[in-house]
Structure 1
Amino acid sequence: MTSRWVVDVQQQRSYEVDWRFISLWILNEETKQEWYTPAYRAGHFLGHKGLRIANAIRLQEDGEAVGSWYTALGEALHLNNRRDEARADNEAFLEAVLDEAGFSAAYLSDADDESHDGYIRAETELALSRAGQDVGTPILTFRPGSDNEGSFFGPVISKAPKGEEASELWDAVEKLATSGVAELKRSNRDAPDYT
């Protein structure tokens, strides 16, 4: 959902977005808690495979293409409720999403290419160095490399705003991230609405 919001704002503002990766599969590789079931880990690994493809797209194409891949994958899983299809056959699911989004089927081989893991691991570590060790995804960094660089985990959005509302939320999050606010948190109030 966050990728749709970022893409919406990017189009309104003509921002250049540098898509980076954070892998929940890597983040939880040492997790032994009861809640982290084999099915949960398998879901994270499917996401990791999607990141391998995203890294290949970044290396072959550009950041805009990465944003398109993130959006296509997120919409397939969340908006179109294709999780069962993804669980049943990761390869067929990823191939279908690549095709539907207009990407070469050749990227499918990258889903199992461990050579991408070094990049993904380094970017996961970079994200955590910016936002802290006790966070997940997404992590947004505003003004990277500048004196007032700021990063936040989130926002976790129940329903992604569109148009002017998307820009207003972006401005608010950027202001908080670059103004010294360390944390702002509450539990989820509404069930996710991916429409």
Structure 2
Amino acid sequence: MFVDPLCPWAWMTSRWVLEAATVRDIDITFRVMSLAVLNEGRDLDPGYREAMDRAWGPVRVLTAAARAHGDEVLGDLYTAIGTRKHPGGRGGTEDEMREVVEESLTEVGLPTELMDAWENVPGDEIDVDLRARHQLAIDLVGDDVGTPVVKVNDIAFFGPVVTPAPKGEAAGKLWDGCVLVAGTPGFYEIKRSRQTGPDFS
């Protein structure tokens, strides 16, 4: 599962996948993709552009963590960050988000020196690695979608965008359906207008 920690919809999908794993045989590996990279050079409204400018730090720290400690640390770190950011309502400014990420590193037992990767430095090792990780997700589904991207064996799809995250067997049934339709040759999209924001309950 490819995620950006700032995306509330990726958070919702991640909670669904984790719930589905309690009723289905799913082994989840978290990976990094980046809304900042995805939206680079795009004409965005000023508020969203500002958010994208702030989106570099968290994914750079996640990338640094994966480089130093392996992708296996990303699930717990992503959950620690997301819990503070999404249902916790923190991280609305860059300073607050720095606090969220640093606290999360401490919670999961990772060195806070990983915060040194925060500043966006185009072309440095973290930037190159982050872009490569992001490109893995884009190569699976194309660049006209965002986060999250879920890959199951040879099947990959964007989303689902769902709120609230289904629980128990309902989560399992949604998993079954997503894998089924995404694995249908020639199937690309099913969509309806979203009428509500993310429900973190």
Q: TM-score of the superposition, structure 2-length normalised? A: 0.80
| CA-based RMSD | 2.3
User: How many angstroms does 1:62 deviate by?
Assistant: 3.9
State yes or no: 1:96 paired with 2:110: no
Match of 2:56 in 1: 48
Match of 1:118 in 2: 128
Quote the sequence identity (%): 33
State yes or no: 1:5 paired with 2:42: no
How far apart are the structure 2 equivalents of 1:5 and 1:22?
19
User: How many angstroms does 1:138 deviate by?
Assistant: 0.7
What do residues 148-192 of structure 1 show as CA deviations (whole Å, max 9, x unaligned)?
A: x22211111121122222222111111111112211111113321
Q: Secondary structure at the match of 2:85?
A: helix
Larger RCO, structure (CA 8 Å, separation 6 or more): 2
Name the aligned partner's letter for residue 183 of structure 2: T
Kept in 2: contact 1:18–1:63 (CA 8 A) = yes
User: How many angstroms does 1:87 deviate by?
Assistant: 3.5
Name the aligned partner's letter for residue 44 of structure 1: M
Name the aligned partner's letter for residue 141 of structure 1: K
Q: Unaligned 5+ residue runs, structure 2? A: 1-11
Match of 2:184 in 1: 179
CA shift in 2, pair 1:32/1:55, >3 Å: same
For structure 1, which segment, 72-81 or 104-113, has the greater mean C-alpha deviation from structure 2 after superposition? 104-113
User: How many angstroms does 1:4 deviate by?
Assistant: 2.0
How far apart are the structure 2 equivalents of 1:52 and 1:87?
14
Superposition map of 1:2-41 within 5 A: 2-13=13-24, 15-33=26-44, 35=45, 37=46, 39-41=47-49
Q: TM-score of the superposition, structure 1-length normalised? A: 0.82
Match of 1:189 in 2: 195
User: How many angstroms does 1:80 deviate by?
Assistant: 0.7
| More helix by percentage | 1
Match of 2:5 in 1: none
* Equivalent residues, number: 186
